Chain A
Amino acid sequence: MATLTWHGSSYPTQVLVLTGRSLRALLRTPALVFFSVLQPLIMLTLFSQIFGSITSTANFPPGMSYINFLLPAILVNTAMQSSLASGIGLVQDMSNGVLARFRSLPIRPSTVLLARNLSDAVRTGFQLVLMIAFGVLVFGFRPDGGVLGTLAALGLALVVGWALSWVFIAIAAWVRKAELMQTVGFLAMFPLMFASSAFVPVNGLPGWLQAIAKINPLTYAVDAARSLALAHPVTGVAGALVTSGVIAAIGAFFAVRGFRRPLSL
């Protein structure tokens, strides 16, 4: 037998190999890819049809089509949902058994988290591109911001999702229960989604919901994405990016700490 002396790889190699592993696993599970795309598509279809008549109300910006209003919000929303899936993915990894092996290898635990985060960003990017394609081809999404504005909105949604993914990865690293995360995540996101500027203009909401919407960070993320896609005066993009950066840093810090705890406890 040849004597091999592999005593560990570099940090970037570890991240790259592990990211590749997650993406490969995703590709080998086409059903998962299908449903991860189907869910936001259903949302896009339903909401664009159900809420379409809202354009005729007084609070709606005159002359704007509902799909142009809706799609940037769908992008942010999809990225947010995807970030929850990122945390759940980590919990599943932990029960998959392969993480136990990673722990006995000469690799840094943080690379596992970073890889999870990166591969999910790739997956989210794919989802978002598909949403935009559907919006343009099926629902007549024609934003004033054009291709560049739309891509900028996509990029912003991706950054928001990426930051939230760190939060859910951190929660996953501490909680380690997929069902619990799914339930709590859904309960937290559902009201956040509606008590925001995502589907109707904020001033069309009842007073108490307006109050919530105005402190809901999602409102600001959606407004920023919308301003980019629709070529409105750009509002809150820098704020959204900085906030995302801070959230990501805090999430990553706690994620690494939580993940370091032994698996079997």
Chain B
Amino acid sequence: MTELMIEAHDVSKKFGDVNALDGVSVTARKGSVLGLLGHNGAGKTTLVNLLTTMLPPSSGTAKVAGFDVVKQAHDVRSRIGLTGQFAAVDEQLSGHDNLVLIARLLGASRAQAHQRADDLLEQFDLTDAARRNAKTYSGGMRRRLDLAASLVGNPEVLFLDEPTTGLDPASRLAMWEIVEKLVADGTTVLLTTQYLDEADRLADSITVLSHGKVVASGTSAELKAQVGQRTVTVTLDSASEVDLALKAINGVGLTPVAEGLTLTTPVSGSRDLATVVRALDDNGLEAHEIGLKEPTLDDVYLTLAAN
């Protein structure tokens, strides 16, 4: 059985009367990416704070890298990296000094710390800015420095709390590539995001949180299958064909809906695509465009998070 690097079992966190987390369970295998999807206030950051030992849970237990986040917090902290929503770098220090500081605190010798800092600065394309105060860095540079800082100790589990919020598209893409590379090297990642495409691209499994509860979990494909409906869309060349096509598809037991020149038919699988094509063909119709449309994570998210 593959090693579980993140195990949260029925954890809850109350702030006064508010249940920020209410009986949440999640797991992540070694070398996988767990995506936490949810809107603001869904409990994503609270869960990250619990798993990174920053907050104790009100009830429930959690282990990270095999260590209990409450009883073995020190062991957990020495095996994780955290990149939060706001760059946690020392603005008064240079990029280089920031990384040296972390390495020294983790127990590296002076020489090792400088070496590690230089390596990471190069890896994150910050060598030119290495000696400048972090205060002068752009948003994207700060995020890269922040991520570099969380990687100084080669963490086994990396927590990324909305790592690309507020980044321009190019920086976002760069961040994704970095994460993919880390995962390829065996790092386990927990990623929170509000961006569906981000979860879709990076996460092996996705947990959707809403009001502190897990409302769905599974792979991206499973979630889509669970909630979203596949459809076959047919676009015709002329309005005169619309009624004929509706009748034809109805004739094979499906229920198309027309909008302009486009017919949308809910289907259960790709086999139905062939059925629709055949129905049109049998009636002498030729579609201008035809295709099977998978539901997007937007559909999943909107359906689940709305409840």
Contact = CB atoms under 8 A, between A and B. Distances in A.
Do the two chains bind?
A: yes
A17 interface: yes
B88 A106 contact: no
B115 to A, nearest CB: 9
A103 B87 CA distance: 14
Interface stretch (A20-28, A117-125, A158-166): A20-28
A24 B97 contact: yes
Contacts, number: 102
A25 B107 contact: no
A137 interface: no
A106 B104 contact: no
B47 interface: no
A9 interface: yes
A13 B107 CA distance: 8
A8 to B, nearest CB: 5
B92 A6 contact: no
Nearest to B90: A98
Interface in A87-104: 96-104
B277 interface: no
A6 B152 CA distance: 9
A21 B93 contact: yes
A163 to B, nearest CB: 26
Contacts of B49: 262, 264
Most chain B beta-carbon contacts within 10 A, residue among A14, A24, A101, A262: A101
Interface residues of B, number: 42
A14 B103 CA distance: 11
Contacts of A262: 49, 54-55
A17 B78 contact: no
A17 B74 CA distance: 19
A18 interface: yes
B92 A9 contact: no
Contact of A6 (B80, B87, B153): B153
B254 to A, nearest CB: 52
B77 interface: yes
Contacts of B290: none
B112 to A, nearest CB: 8
Contacts of A103: 54
Contact of B88 (A13, A28, A98): A98
B193 interface: no
A55 B94 CA distance: 51
A109 B118 CA distance: 27
B78 A106 contact: yes
Given A3-B154, A21-B101, A105-B102, A8 B74 contact: yes
Contacts of A97: 86-91
A13 B103 CA distance: 12
B133 interface: yes
Nearest to A7: B78
Interface string B49-91: 1001111000000000000000000110111111010111111
A1 interface: yes
A1 B108 CA distance: 16
A18 B104 CA distance: 9
A4 interface: yes
B213 interface: no
Nearest to A22: B92
Given A4-B108, A101-B82, A106 B92 contact: no
A14 B104 CA distance: 8
A265 B92 CA distance: 24
Contact of B90 (A21, A104, A106): A21
Nearest to B79: A7
A105 B108 CA distance: 13
B173 to A, nearest CB: 23
Contacts of A13: 104-105, 107
Contact of B54 (A14, A96, A104): A104
Interface of B: 15, 49, 52-55, 74-75, 77-82, 84, 86-94, 97-98, 101-108, 112, 116, 133, 149-150, 153-154, 185
13 contacts: A4-B112, A6-B153, A7-B79, A21-B93, A25-B92, A28-B93, A96-B91, A96-B92, A97-B91, A104-B150, A105-B106, A106-B75, A106-B78
